[in-house]
Structure 1
């Protein structure tokens, strides 16, 4: 009879051995796939990371999944991540599909209301980003951009390259 507290030494031993091996396989695959797999995450990267964690947990805890099957699943997820990022560097439409585009929320001290609504970002969040960049008020910011990873970037007024740094940023009509 199974217990909710202890199902026997065999199950613990299996979890220990499979856990060590599966973790080793995951680390090896991540190292082989390159630094991009572990870089700052956008929404696509977050989904892959959650899927990797879920797969690892399944390998560890399900007796129905052999280590080889789990390793194949981990390898497949990492390969797909590698392939999509490889394509996104070479094909702009793939990059836009997978990561989206940065969106301008404030330009020359004025809030872009339509963009704020689309991004579901409040004026207060933009002001907080401005303050965290050492600026005292909205009028000191040339632009605030919602990046593809969800962070807010602030371009300060007076930067000689301010407008050129906004290339590739989507701007909605007010």
Structure 2
């Protein structure tokens, strides 16, 4: 339970160091998107990368080469999906959630908040975090596809063009 063999420990050290270098190389080669703010798809890929790394480290049934190939495959698939979704907006709908308007001109949009499972307390917290003390001074609160809340103060709303494509705005 506490110790099986020195060879197992040496394997973890050698394969672990090699797998770590492989992860760093794969992440560098796959671009900034892999480490960017995560939407649901990116989160799944990141968790899969971590799980694959753990399997390489701890399972003697998986060789470093198999693990490195699995890491590279995940990065290539993520890059391919990112390319497809950036070139075909229809595909983006299948991979990422559409942003949703939760508050407009200081008034909550209850059906949107219910469907997105966001409470008014969470909206108020985001408004406070943006530096505003008055919800009525907020033109819009948007639940972004990565789960973050964007706050647009009334004095910075302008023509609202940044809300194009947001569910609940202009529909």
TM-score by length of 2: 0.95
Alpha-carbon spacing, 1:44–1:160, altered in 2? closer, same or farther (3 Å): closer
Q: Which runs of 4+ in 1 moved over 6 A?
A: none
Asked whether the equivalents of residues 163 and 169 of structure 2 are also in contact (C-alpha less than 8 Å), the reply is: no
Deviation at 1:157, TM superposition (A): 0.4
**How does 1:1-174 map onto structure 2 within 5 Å?**
4-159=1-156, 161=158, 163-171=160-168
TM-score by length of 1: 0.93
Cα deviation, 1:24-56, whole Å, max 9, x if unaligned, reads 111111111111111111111111111111111
Cα deviation, 1:118-171, whole Å, max 9, x if unaligned, reads 100001111111111111221100000001111100100022525112111110
For residues 132 and 26 of structure 2, what CA distance do their matches in structure 1 show? Answer: 43
| CA root-mean-square deviation | 1.4
For residues 159 and 165 of structure 2, what CA distance do their matches in structure 1 show? Answer: 13
For residues 113 and 151 of structure 2, what CA distance do their matches in structure 1 show? Answer: 15
- 1:158 is paired with a residue of what secondary structure? helix
For residues 162 and 39 of structure 1, what CA distance do their matches in structure 2 show? Answer: 29
